[in-house]
């Protein structure tokens, strides 16, 4: 954000609050960027000649006669192939010591894709994890978050998925990320030798929290460049969206807005939708897939952040520690991929949908049996078989450290059906049973 | 209405709320355009408040780049949409722009177009004669729009009685051509009528004789709706449910198979990919009743969640106004809105920005009134020419945190007569559609008109059977609770029998596979057959020795019935399973009524 011509400079500050300052100025446009005493800020309100600016890093140290330089543009990013392999801060400035990126100046948070110009997502993104590929298949152009507790290994899983997925670019948007996790991602990508397909926008806990609200738009502007101009398949990782929402709440609070549920701004739904809806399959082949993390507090999904997220995203993935087999699994009950219907049984084997449902139903029977057991009741023969099935299903299919193809997953499921159940107990169409049943 | 165009200038900007200085009269709800001096884009806006000589306008798009002193042009009109032939099968946005006409992949700010092509030619066939006395909304003639006779009506804004002075003979005319001239009976200037007219979306079209009590069921092909909680032609209903419970899938199924002439889908603040699914699949899918493509009877109003919030509010009204227009032609229109909560949230964002004192959960205080007057626009009417017509309205509600006590759900409950509660517990165990059979209701089952109709047209004991099956479900739930508390062994065997009978109803009647070619749509005739078959099982007494035997027996029965659901009705396969069912039943049956 260097000084350039056509900049307007004003020095008469009339109000300074914790996060905003108001300067007397003319000819300023809404949402324009500015530097207040050298610190990045953005216009959030204009009343006649009183222009209110949100100073991202806070207003400490600002004088009433500090220099306010208006830059004449809203937040933007220079996009080109030079972005590859680079790390940036929330303003799109390099933080890896490399040179400034040259390219086409693009306003972030750009326009919406015309819904009639979208293509229906139809390409499966294989991750090797059965909890995803088998039960909650990921499709390119989809947006889906992990709903995770802060202590769960979501960053590791995201990195695994990113590297296994057959995509052209991976764009990581880190919000309030611990410095250690930032280094973790960096080293994982480095070790995989995939640096040239990674672009990273990073706001760590060392940076100002309000800056975070620029990260998703930065990441998605870069993604749109590769998906639209280059027709590439782009995977965007956003972590952690809860911290992004917290930053929104801080801003809205400082703007004196009336908070709604859980002290979140009333526009939370629209704010999140603007980000997640950037996920798209373009007709020319390019696509943007968003995989995000929303951390929960105490597993509460009725909190405004996961709740609004759930209504926007195309499903959600829950991680759970299965104590019976001591493995982390993607919870088959609470997880959901809304787009899976577009690929399962179509891009995968015909028995996929019914096998998937049967497994989940039987797994749910095992949960009921477990409750019975805990309440001290006798188990029926069926209950016992369901319990045994669940253990093997969890250990040999669902566990996230297993990396197999969808066909292999289906085969393993049929093996388990044959081992523990009769044909009438699985509730699958007769034709499929005739074709795939293992055992007598 | 058309006062001359007046101009003002921008004074203040806070998000999409702009204050305007103007030295001329301004109408509340008037439409105006802000010209962004920086880019020359014209942004549409609506007056929402006038305070301290400043006019507050809400811009329908992002105000990025707008400056103080930018020009604002007031048009003199409220927000009106265009009505006329050519709306069918269109994909429109919340402000009635034809999305297919917008060029480029992205929606550029400030690009507006007209959904109706005024130069398009249609063959007009007059049905009214010169000398006829007409009122607002009376039929003058018709043109062919796709497959149906699109009625050309007198303007809905017409006041008092008029005489038809001239009417064009049969022939080809453009939409903008005058096809009739009316002269007021009370004297005054003649009125020229074209095929095109405008109507402000916030006002209901009331050019009909009277609104009547509903009596005729609207078939949806969804068993748990049609049989247990029937919707009526002209009825209202809502589907609340936490995310992931299948609200949208259910709405898609209804939009595909409902027995309506025209479906208007308002995708209000929901996911774009879901709308894309409709865009891509409806042109391919067939209407099971007429054999025509579904798209031919569908109009989509699409304001996805990332499109501007302010036009989200307008989108539901646009959809309702289009529905009313087609209702005036004697059609049975079904309006589906997904989701009305997003609309309510848009109201909240606007009221918030206007710094109104908030009601519960920061929603505007008059939320209940707004929602109920919207639902009141649905109904079964008798048109001026005595023909019946209807708008059935089903809205989904996305309760925050799945809590049905939140303001939008509460407000909607007061206005809608059918309640299709989607239960998280059912969705978790993949029992779809997740409509809770016990909490859900249709008030229409209590209407004597409805009961009479069903007795006459479905079967004499239909209503009794429905109540009976509901009773079995309830008893099953009670038995299940007892089994859970006392354990399998400690309850009488009869409890298992009751419980498994209710599970049979659940698995084979309540649950329906909307992704299976056959099971996704169950006509009422088939529902009646299955209901009677399942009731027969419920009424039968079987001989069991131990609860595991009960379980196994009913699991077998369920499996056979499910295979029947997957087979075409009365097909050989279907009948084979029926025979197998009879055999299985006979083995254990001791008696049966």
Instruction: Say yes or no: B217 and B313 in one domain.
Output: yes
**Interface probe, candidates B306, B309, B493, B500, chain A, greatest A C-beta count within 10 A:** B306
Instruction: Say yes or no: A43 and A92 in one domain.
Output: no
Cross-chain Cβ contact B11/A274 below 8 Å: no
Query: Which residues of chain A neighbour B275 with C-beta distances below 8 Å?
Result: 115
Alpha carbons B343 and B363: distance in angstroms, whole number: 11
Cross-chain Cβ contact B362/A142 below 8 Å: no
How far from each other are the two terminal CA atoms of chain B, in whole angstroms? 71
Cross-chain Cβ contact A30/B63 below 8 Å: yes
Instruction: Say yes or no: B440 and B477 in one domain.
Output: no
Nearest-by-CA chain A residue for B551: A382
Query: Which residues of chain B neighbour A273 with C-beta distances below 8 Å?
Result: 269, 304-306
* Segments forming the whole domain that contains residue B66: 6-78
Query: Which residues of chain B neighbour A278 with C-beta distances below 8 Å?
Result: 306
CB B124 within 8 A of CB B141: yes
What pTM was computed for the model? Answer: 0.91
pLDDT of res. B591: 65
pLDDT of res. B593: 46
Which three-class secondary structure state does DSSP give residue A128? Answer: coil
B301 Ramachandran zone, left/alpha/beta (phi>0; psi -120 to 50): beta
pLDDT of res. A4: 55
Cross-chain Cβ contact A273/B67 below 8 Å: no
Minimum-distance CB partner of A380 among B104, B488, B556 = B488
Q: To the nearest whole angstrom, how far is the Cα of A55 from the nearest Cα of chain B?
A: 17
* Segments forming the whole domain that contains residue A39: 8-70
Cross-chain Cβ contact B352/A257 below 8 Å: yes
Nearest-by-CA chain A residue for B507: A427
Instruction: Say yes or no: B535 and B431 in one domain.
Output: no
Minimum-distance CB partner of B279 among A116, A279, A378 = A116
Instruction: Say yes or no: A305 and A431 in one domain.
Output: no
User: A214 in a domain, yes or no?
Assistant: yes
Query: Which residues of chain A neighbour B107 with C-beta distances below 8 Å?
Result: 111-114
Cross-chain Cβ contact B67/A28 below 8 Å: yes
| pLDDT > 70 fraction of chain A, expressed in percent and rounded | 98
Q: If you count them, how many residues does chain A have? A: 440
User: A195 in a domain, yes or no?
Assistant: yes
Q: Which string of b and e fits B38-57 if b means at least 16 CB within 10 Å?
A: beebbbbbbbbebeeebbbb
CB B368 within 8 A of CB B424: no
User: B412 in a domain, yes or no?
Assistant: yes
Instruction: Say yes or no: B139 and B229 in one domain.
Output: no
B57 Ramachandran zone, left/alpha/beta (phi>0; psi -120 to 50): beta
Which of A313, A329, A344 lies at the terminal end of a domain, its last residue?
A: A313
Q: To the nearest whole angstrom, how far is the Cα of B78 from the nearest Cα of chain A?
A: 26
**Interface probe, candidates A26, A29, A286, chain B, greatest B C-beta count within 10 A:** A29
- Residue B363 sits in a domain whose CATH number is 3.40.50.300
| pLDDT tens digits along A237-279 | 999 999 999 999 988 888 778 888 888 988 899 999 999 999 9
Query: Which residues of chain A neighbour B243 with C-beta distances below 8 Å?
Result: 307, 310-311
Cross-chain Cβ contact A27/B488 below 8 Å: no
Instruction: Say yes or no: A57 and A92 in one domain.
Output: no
Give me A191's structure tokens: 């070790």
pLDDT of res. B1: 45
- Residue A193 sits in a domain whose CATH number is 3.40.50.12240
Instruction: Say yes or no: B379 and B274 in one domain.
Output: yes
Query: Which residues of chain B neighbour A277 with C-beta distances below 8 Å?
Result: 271-272, 304-306
Average pLDDT over residues A190-218: 92
Instruction: Say yes or no: A264 and A356 in one domain.
Output: no
Instruction: Say yes or no: A95 and A240 in one domain.
Output: yes
Which of B170, B198, B226 lies at the terminal end of a domain, its last residue?
A: B198
Average pLDDT over residues A25-48: 93
Which of A70, A86, A115 lies at the terminal end of a domain, its last residue?
A: A70
Cross-chain Cβ contact A26/B68 below 8 Å: yes
Cross-chain Cβ contact B548/A47 below 8 Å: no
Q: How many domains does chain A have?
A: 3
Contacts 24+ apart (CB under 8 A), B488-496: B488/A372, B488/A377, B488/A378, B488/A380, B488/B547, B489/A377, B489/A378, B489/B547, B493/B544, B493/B546, B493/B547, B493/B550, B496/B544, B496/B547, B496/B550, B496/B551
- Residue A18 sits in a domain whose CATH number is 2.40.30.20
User: B88 in a domain, yes or no?
Assistant: no
Q: What is the ipTM of this complex?
A: 0.86
Query: Which residues of chain A neighbour B304 with C-beta distances below 8 Å?
Result: 112, 115, 273, 277
pLDDT of res. B12: 94
pLDDT of res. B428: 78
Cross-chain Cβ contact B551/A261 below 8 Å: no
Q: How many domains does chain B have?
A: 4
Q: Nearest-5° angle of CA A132, CA A137, CA A143?
A: 95
Cross-chain Cβ contact B105/A312 below 8 Å: no
Residues 6+ apart with CB under 8 A from A318: A146, A147, A148, A330, A331, A334, A335
Instruction: Say yes or no: A384 and A412 in one domain.
Output: yes
Q: To the nearest whole angstrom, how far is the Cα of A96 from the nearest Cα of chain B?
A: 31
Cross-chain Cβ contact B352/A310 below 8 Å: no
* Pairing label, strands B54-59, B42-51: antiparallel
Instruction: Say yes or no: A204 and A306 in one domain.
Output: yes
Cross-chain Cβ contact A260/B102 below 8 Å: no
Query: For the CA atoms of chain A, what is the radius of gyration?
Result: 25
The larger pLDDT score, comparing residue B280 to residue A290, is at A290
User: B83 in a domain, yes or no?
Assistant: no
pLDDT of res. A110: 87
Instruction: Say yes or no: A308 and A367 in one domain.
Output: no
In degrees rounded to 5, what are phi and psi of residue B436?
-70, 120
Ranges in chain B, pLDDT < 70 = 1-3, 591-593
- Residue B490 sits in a domain whose CATH number is 1.10.1140.10
Which stretch, A329-333, A339-343, B76-80, B568-572, has highest mean pLDDT? Answer: B568-572
Residues 6+ apart with CB under 8 A from A45: A51, A52, A255, B12, B13, B14
* Placement of tokens 């009528």 in the chain: B193
Query: Which residues of chain B neighbour A316 with C-beta distances below 8 Å?
Result: 244
Cross-chain Cβ contact B243/A273 below 8 Å: no
Q: What band does A7 get if pLDDT is binned at 50, 70 and 90?
A: confident
**Interface probe, candidates A28, A31, A50, A116, chain B, greatest B C-beta count within 10 A:** A116
Cross-chain Cβ contact A361/B105 below 8 Å: no
The larger pLDDT score, comparing residue A6 to residue B195, is at B195
């Amino acid at each position: 954000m260097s000084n350039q011509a056509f900049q307007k400079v004003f020095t008469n500050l009339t109000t300074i609050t914790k996060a905003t300052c108001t300067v007397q100025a003319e000819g300023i446009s809404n949402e324009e960027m500015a530097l207040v005493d050298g610190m990045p800020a953005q216009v959030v309100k204009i009343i006649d000649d009183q222009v209110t600016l949100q100073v991202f890093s806070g207003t400490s140290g600002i004088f009433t006669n500090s220099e306010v330089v208006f830059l004449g543009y809203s937040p933007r990013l220079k996009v080109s192939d030079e972005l590859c392999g680079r790390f940036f801060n929330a303003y799109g400035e390099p933080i890896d010591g490399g040179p400034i990126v040259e390219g086409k100046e693009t306003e972030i948070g750009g326009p919406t894709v015309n819904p009639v110009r979208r293509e229906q997502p139809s390409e499966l993104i294989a991750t090797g994890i059965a909890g995803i590929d088998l039960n909650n298949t990921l499709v390119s152009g989809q947006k889906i978050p992990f709903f995770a507790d802060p202590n769960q290994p979501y960053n590791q899983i995201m990195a695994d998925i990113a590297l296994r997925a057959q995509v052209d670019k991976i764009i990581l948007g880190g919000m309030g990320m611990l410095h250690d996790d930032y280094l973790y991602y960096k080293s994982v990508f480095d070790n995989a030798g995939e640096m040239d397909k990674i672009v990273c926008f990073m706001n760590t806990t060392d940076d100002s929290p309000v800056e975070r609200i620029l990260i998703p738009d930065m990441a998605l502007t870069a993604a749109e460049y590769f998906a639209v101009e280059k027709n590439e398949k782009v995977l965007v990782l956003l972590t952690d969206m809860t911290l992004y929402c917290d930053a929104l709440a801080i801003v809205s609070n400082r703007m004196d807005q009336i908070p709604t549920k859980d002290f979140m701004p009333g526009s939370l739904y629209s704010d999140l939708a603007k980000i997640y809806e950037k996920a798209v399959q373009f007709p020319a082949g390019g696509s943007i897939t968003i995989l995000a993390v929303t951390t929960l507090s105490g597993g509460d999904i009725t909190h405004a952040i996961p709740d609004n997220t759930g209504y926007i995203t195309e499903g959600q993935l829950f991680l759970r520690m299965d104590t019976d087999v001591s493995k982390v699994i993607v919870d088959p009950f609470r997880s959901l991929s809304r787009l899976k219907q577009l690929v399962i049984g179509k891009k995968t084997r015909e028995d996929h949908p019914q096998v998937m449902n049967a497994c989940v139903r039987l797994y749910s029977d095992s949960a009921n049996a477990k409750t019975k057991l805990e309440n001290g009741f006798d188990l029926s023969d069926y209950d016992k078989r369901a319990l045994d099935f669940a253990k093997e299903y969890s250990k040999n299919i669902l566990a996230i450290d297993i990396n197999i193809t969808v066909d292999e997953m289906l085969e393993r499921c049929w093996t388990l059906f044959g081992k523990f159940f009769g044909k009438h107990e699985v509730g699958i169409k007769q034709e499929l049973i005739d074709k795939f049943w293992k055992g007598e | 209405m058309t006062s001359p165009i007046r101009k003002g200038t921008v004074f203040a900007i806070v998000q999409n709320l702009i204050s305007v200085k103007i030295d001329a009269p301004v109408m509340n709800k008037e439409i105006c355009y802000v010209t962004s001096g920086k880019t020359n884009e014209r942004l549409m806006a609506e007056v929402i408040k006038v305070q301290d000589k400043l006019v507050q306008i809400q811009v329908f798009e992002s105000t990025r780049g707008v400056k103080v002193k930018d020009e604002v042009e007031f048009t003199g009109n409220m927000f009106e949409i265009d009505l006329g032939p050519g709306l069918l099968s269109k994909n429109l946005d919340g402000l009635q722009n034809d999305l297919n006409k917008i060029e480029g992949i992205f929606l550029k700010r400030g690009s507006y177009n007209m959904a109706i092509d005024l130069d398009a030619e249609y063959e007009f066939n007059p049905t009214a004669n010169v000398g006829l006395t007409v009122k607002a909304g009376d039929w003058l003639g018709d043109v062919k729009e796709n497959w149906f006779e699109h009625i050309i009506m007198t303007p809905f804004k017409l006041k008092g009685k008029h005489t038809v002075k001239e009417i064009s003979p049969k022939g080809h005319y453009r939409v903008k051509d005058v096809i009739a001239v009316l002269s007021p009976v009370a004297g005054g200037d003649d009125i020229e009528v074209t095929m095109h007219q405008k109507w402000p979306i916030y006002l209901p079209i009331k050019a009909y004789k009277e609104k009547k009590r509903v009596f005729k069921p609207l078939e949806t092909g969804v068993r748990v709706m049609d049989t247990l909680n029937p919707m009526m032609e002209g009825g209202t209903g809502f589907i609340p449910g936490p995310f992931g419970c299948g609200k949208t899938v259910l709405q898609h199924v209804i939009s595909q198979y409902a027995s309506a002439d025209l479906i208007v889908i308002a995708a209000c603040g929901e996911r774009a990919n879901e709308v894309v699914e409709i865009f891509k699949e409806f042109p391919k899918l067939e209407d099971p009743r007429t054999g025509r493509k579904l798209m031919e009877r569908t109009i989509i109003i699409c304001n996805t969640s990332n499109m501007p919030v302010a036009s989200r509010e307008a989108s539901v009204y646009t959809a309702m106004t289009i529905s009313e227009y087609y209702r005036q032609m004697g059609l049975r229109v079904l309006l589906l809105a997904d989701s009305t909560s997003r609309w309510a949230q848009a109201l909240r964002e606007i009221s918030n920005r206007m710094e109104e004192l908030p009601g519960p959960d920061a929603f505007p205080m008059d939320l209940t009134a707004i929602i109920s007057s919207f639902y009141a626009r649905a109904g079964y009417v008798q048109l001026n020419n005595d023909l019946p017509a209807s708008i059935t309205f089903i809205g989904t509600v996305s309760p925050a945190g799945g809590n049905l006590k939140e303001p939008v759900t509460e407000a909607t409950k007061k206005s809608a007569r059918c309640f299709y509660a989607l239960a998280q517990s059912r969705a978790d165990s993949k029992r779809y559609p997740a409509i809770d059979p016990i909490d859900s209701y249709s008030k229409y089952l209590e209407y004597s008109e409805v009961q009479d109709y069903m007795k006459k047209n479905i079967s004499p004991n239909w209503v009794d059977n429905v109540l009976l099956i509901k009773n079995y479900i309830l008893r099953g739930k009670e038995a299940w609770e007892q089994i859970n508390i006392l354990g399998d062994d400690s309850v009488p065997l009869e409890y298992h029998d009751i419980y498994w009978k209710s599970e049979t109803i659940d698995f084979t009647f309540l649950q329906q596979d909307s992704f299976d070619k056959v099971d996704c749509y169950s006509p009422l005739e088939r529902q009646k057959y299955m209901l009677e078959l399942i009731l027969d099982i419920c009424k039968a007494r079987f001989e069991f020795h131990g609860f595991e035997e009960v379980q196994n027996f009913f699991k077998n029965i369920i499996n056979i019935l499910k295979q029947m659901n997957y087979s075409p009705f009365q097909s050989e396969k279907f009948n084979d399973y029926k025979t197998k069912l009879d055999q299985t039943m006979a083995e254990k049956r001791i008696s049966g009524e």
